Amino acid sequence: MKIGVLALQGDFAEHITVLRHLEVDTTEVRLPSQLDELHGLIIPGGESTTIGKLATTFGMIEPLRRFGHDRPIWGTCAGAIFLSGDAHRQQPLLDLLDITIERNAFGRQVNSFEIDLIIPALEDPERPFRALFIRAPLIERVGRGVEVLAHLPEDKERTGRVVAAQQGHILATSFHPELTEDNRFHRYFINLVKG
């Protein structure tokens, strides 16, 4: 089994490090032909407009869509935006996940924060998952057939807002599991790829 990490821009190296630590065969992906040998793909955080532009330049948009039709893809933060069908503005999107995204949803007040999430789908579900949000998007709407995996804890400001979702073999998180020690989300994706 081999899981690639799209390496056009963003924090792809951190995902590679976690996959290697979990003894998964992995490679950086920049060209369409590199997708052929893969069983799954991670699209990292970074800047979704840049990732989209580079993917267009490298002729990756259609190959990535085809890949996502039958193989698992997980997008973190900018990667989640890139997987979505609607980000409220013109930018290249893969439209593989029926969600609407609000980019930089925590924009001005808090560009970055950490919060404990309860994510029932993960191993050891009672143990909170420390989620790191960096100029993070919010999943504003999920379509039918999209499962909500995590939302922000209810409080006055952020009532039950969705930050992780899955539609079949396509997975999106607003936060960055590649930047914390807890690798349960990576293991969840690896299991998805194993099928």
User: Which residues belong to the active site?
Assistant: 77, 176, 178
The answer to whether residue 86 forms part of the interface with ligand GLN (CB under 6 A) is no
The answer to whether residue 48 forms part of the interface with ligand GLN (CB under 6 A) is yes
- Structure-token pair, residue 179: 């930047």
Residue closer to ligand GLN (CB basis): 92 or 168: 92
> Which amino acid is it at 166?
Q
> Which amino acid is it at 52?
G
Q: Nearest Cα to 175, choosing from 186, 192, 163?
A: 163
How far, in Å, CA of 30 to CA of 195, rounded? 25
Please pick, from the candidates 61, 81, 93, 142, the single residue that binds ligand GLN as defined by CB under 6 A: 81
The answer to whether residue 135 forms part of the interface with ligand GLN (CB under 6 A) is yes
The answer to whether residue 131 forms part of the interface with ligand GLN (CB under 6 A) is no
Contact stretch for ligand GLN (CB under 6 A) within 14-22, 74-82, 113-121, 161-169: 74-82
CB 50 to ligand GLN: min, Å: 8
Cα first-last separation, the chain: 11
The enclosing H or E element of 148 equals: strand 147-151
Please pick, from the candidates 121, 134, 148, 192, the single residue that binds ligand GLN as defined by CB under 6 A: 134
How far does CA 160 lie from the centroid of its chain? 19
How far, in Å, CA of 135 to CA of 113, rounded? 9
Q: Based on the number of CB atoms within 10 Å of its own CB, is 28 exposed (0-12), middle (13-18) or buried (19 or more)?
A: middle
CB 165 to ligand GLN: min, Å: 16
- Structure-token pair, residue 57: 């330049």
Please pick, from the candidates 6, 42, 78, 149, the single residue that binds ligand GLN as defined by CB under 6 A: 78
Please pick, from the candidates 24, 60, 77, 165, the single residue that binds ligand GLN as defined by CB under 6 A: 77
The answer to whether residue 47 forms part of the interface with ligand GLN (CB under 6 A) is yes
Q: Nearest Cα to 119, choosing from 135, 105, 131?
A: 131
Total residues contacting ligand GLN by CB under 6 A comes to 11
Please pick, from the candidates 19, 26, 41, 45, the single residue that binds ligand GLN as defined by CB under 6 A: 45
Residue numbers of the site for ligand GLN (CB under 6 A)?
45-48, 77-78, 81, 103-104, 134-135
